[in-house]
Amino acid sequence: MKTLFNFFEKLGNSITSRVLRLGAATRLIFLIFVYSGDSFKRIHLTIREVYFTGVMSLVIIVVSAFFVGMVLGLQGYYTLQKYGSSEAIGVLVALALVRELGPVVTALLFAGRAGTAITAEIGLMKATEQLSAMEMMAVSPIARIIAPRFWAGVIAMPILASIFSMVGVLGGYVVAVPIIGVDEGAFWSQMQANVDFNFDIMNGLIKSLVFGVACTIIALFEGFDAPPTAEGVSRATTRTVVTSSLAILALDFVLTSFMISG
């Protein structure tokens, strides 16, 4: 009986802590929008964070996109060749990147590179009491630290996803046309004829925007909520990657379901 009571006690504590964290995250989102006006008055802070989260992530985005595109081109060609449709390799590469791989892989890379950096930075600022010092000087940490990073992530993610898709298509082209020998005209013409701007490209951008909001919120909250110790910051950084990755994949399914049914 005691074991059963201990089980329900742990279960209740676990549920309560998660509900409290969800409430704290919701409160943080609300405060970000409340203080966004003050944050936009110092637009240079947001621009600096766009550089940190976006420009500094370009190398891993471009390199990853090129190799993903090359793999898509190689696998796609040999798959389509079995059905006599190898000329449609351009369509396969473009649609796979624009609809799915571009937004999803970009978001996963963003969470691993920029998200962890944001969490570690804010967690370290909390551990060294920099956030408390701002509050004592009547400077809102939300307006000065949190909001600029949020909007930077929201701005950077769709741009990075677009770059990923474009570079991925280039990687697929390099494999399909110069190496395998697919007709260049067929590669581009099939792509242009079958990729729809409103359905394919815009839906991909919407996905990347939603992923950007989710990844940035998770990274900011984990850093802001981290215990002010080295171990606490380390665990928060790990939670950022795990939670962001699961959120991205779950949101991808939900968004895809709505987009296809709509």
Q: Would you kindly state where each structural domain of the chain is located, as residue ranges?
A: 2-261
Q: What is the mean pLDDT of residues 148-168?
A: 93
Contact 152, 53 (CB under 8 A): yes
Name which of 23-27, 67-71, 118-122 the model is least confident about.
23-27
Between CA 115 and CA 118 the distance in angstroms is 5
- CA-CA distances (angstroms) from residue 114 to 44, 90, 152, 183, 262? 19, 31, 11, 39, 33
């991808």: which residue's tokens?
Answer: 252
The DSSP annotation for 33-51 comes to HHHHHHHHTTHHHHHHHHH
Predicted confidence at residue 195, as pLDDT, reads 82
Q: Is the dihedral of CA 226, 227, 228, 230 positive or negative?
A: negative
* Residue 34 CB neighbours (<10 A): 13
Global pTM reads 0.89
* 229 DSSP 8-state letter: S
pLDDT beyond 80 at 71: yes
Predicted confidence at residue 8, as pLDDT, reads 65
Q: What is the mean pLDDT of residues 28-36?
A: 83
pLDDT digits (tens, 9 = 90+) for 90-106: 888 888 899 899 999 99
Predicted confidence at residue 233, as pLDDT, reads 87
What percentage of the chain has pLDDT greater than the value 70? 97
pLDDT beyond 90 at 216: yes
Four-CA torsion 34, 39, 43, 45, nearest 10 degrees: -130
pLDDT beyond 90 at 209: yes
Name which of 12-21, 74-83, 192-201 the model is least confident about.
12-21
Helix, strand, coil share of the chain (percent; to 5): 90, 0, 10
Predicted confidence at residue 24, as pLDDT, reads 76
pLDDT beyond 70 at 47: yes
